[in-house]
Amino acid sequence: MAELIESVDEEKWTEFNKLLDLALNHEQQHQELLVTDIKYILASNPLFPVYREAEAQERKVELSPVSYIDISGGVYEIGYAGTDFCYDNEQPNHQIYLNPYRIQTRLITNGEYLQFIQDGGYQDFRHWLSDGWDTIQKYGWNAPLHWIQLENQWHEMTLQGLRKLDPDTPVCHVSYYEAEAFASWAKQRLPVEAEWEVAAMQGKVKAEEGNFWENLRYHPQPVQGTHNGKLHQMLGDVWEWTSSSYLPYPGYRHADGPLGEYNGKFMVNQMVLKGGSCATPRDHIRITYRNFFQPEKRWQFTGFRLADQPAGK
């Protein structure tokens, strides 16, 4: 690569630099996928091998009950408007109208998801989209991926090996169908991607505060201390499912040639995820970043938070 860079003519550098930026960001995507693939492979081993020993950490204070922040209705701008690198699916920056809403200040936890399981959530068809119900029946799902029940105690396979389920840790490795069913059971909903993005922008969330690949924990972490009135875990920990289909923004046009296939050809039958995860490189993420997966996929570090209408509405 160094030799190639040195050989590029000055008049071709601008176009070459765009390709190089895309290639480096694409490589970061593959680095993240390697982490999740390693976990999936190790979790398939009945000996539950350890990838990296967990570091001793001071135990947090007791997790506070879930709270919300209210976002006013109105016209907002979403999408990338900067001059640095972004993927083409983050553009063009455009206006969108949102009704007033509220969004949870933290992610849904293992303990909260366990209540859904114990209440028969996987056996009650009323909470499931038709495709989701067919999926859990076909594959026999009764819990998130990597949850294992041993002697009537739920455990979770992590890259630090098998350990007892921590009720305060954000739930992860759930499909869109499972997140949507939980939201139905909780009589709330998943946020649309614009609601998530606007909340993150108003909350001025920063990647430096998030749990990313550089932290070397390779697992979502509980919120430390109180979280009332402030958004937590918007960047890092888990990719968050939204209720938005992965579709082009108004005015989007894919590039000519092979680069036009990078994102545009996937804009069907997939759902948008936001925020990055504990396996994402920190300098790879942006508030405007649009990840996407089919609704049944759950091997990635995927979780969610809920949204709703403002209290009293």
How does pLDDT run across 2-43, given as a tens digit for each residue? 898 899 998 889 889 989 999 999 999 999 999 999 999 999
Tokens representing 132 are 């989701």
Q: Is residue 20 part of a domain?
A: yes
At residue 102, φ and ψ (nearest 5 deg) are: -130, 150
Which pLDDT value is given to residue 192?
98
CATH code of residue 195: 3.90.1580.10
Q: Strand 147-150 relative to strand 307-308: parallel, antiparallel, unpaired?
A: unpaired
pLDDT averaged over the chain? 93
Q: Is residue 7 part of a domain?
A: yes
Q: Is residue 266 part of a domain?
A: yes
Segment (H or E) for 188:
none
Place of tokens 């389920």: 165
Q: Is residue 126 part of a domain?
A: yes
Which pLDDT value is given to residue 56?
64
Q: Is residue 77 part of a domain?
A: yes
Which pLDDT value is given to residue 60?
60
CA 54, 57, 61, 67 dihedral sign is negative
Which pLDDT value is given to residue 63?
79
Instruction: Determine the Cα–Cα distance for residues 92 and 81; give it in Å rounded to an integer.
Output: 8
Q: Is residue 104 part of a domain?
A: yes
Q: Which domain holds residue 256?
A: 2-308
Please, which residues have CB within 8 angstroms of residue 131's CB and are 6 or more apart in sequence? 177, 295, 296
Place of tokens 């909903």: 189
pLDDT above 80 for 313: no
Q: Is residue 28 part of a domain?
A: yes
Based on the structure, what is the number of domains in the chain? 1
Say what the alpha-carbon torsion angle 139, 140, 143, 149 is, to the nearest 10 degrees: -120
pTM of the complete model: 0.95
Q: Is residue 313 part of a domain?
A: no
